[in-house]
Amino acid sequence: MERNVLLWAVGIIVAAAFLFNIDGLTGNVAKAKIDPVVTVTNSPVMQGFSVLVSVRDAETTSQEFKIYEVDGEYTAKRFFARASKCSSRKVSGTYDCDLEYKIPTTMSSGSYYIQAKNRRGEMVGNKALFTVA
């Protein structure tokens, strides 16, 4: 009797390990990870003008983007995608967005990059370089 219970318990644990991701058995079914691809289409840009940002495969229509100096220092500047600037949901579950961010007049001239932040707070995808003239 005890042996049957032990075998059932082991079987359930093994089945759970195969059906769910092993990162902590969160219950989230593992799926292919698609990182966003960020492109700046009008570099260089001057202070007070908008930088045009094209995003492919955004995670949500409210995806967050942060601006960093090329050395990796965070500038404390960020912006979000908006549903009105994104296409309808693709089969892969992602969105394509065409965004604008107005460069503050207080932002120093130099080289920067924009990178997307996912729901877990991790920076993901490529670094889209641009220059403030």
- What are the start-end ranges of the E strands in 27-73? 37-40, 50-58, 64-69
Whole-structure pTM value: 0.74
| Average pLDDT value for residue range 5-31 | 65
Per-residue pLDDT tens for 76-107?
999 999 999 999 899 888 999 999 999 999 99
Per-residue pLDDT tens for 1-13?
677 777 777 778 7
Q: What is the 3-state secondary structure (H, E, C) of 74-109?
A: EEEEEEECCHHHECCCCCCCCEEEEEEEECCCCCCC
d(CA 67, CA 73): 9
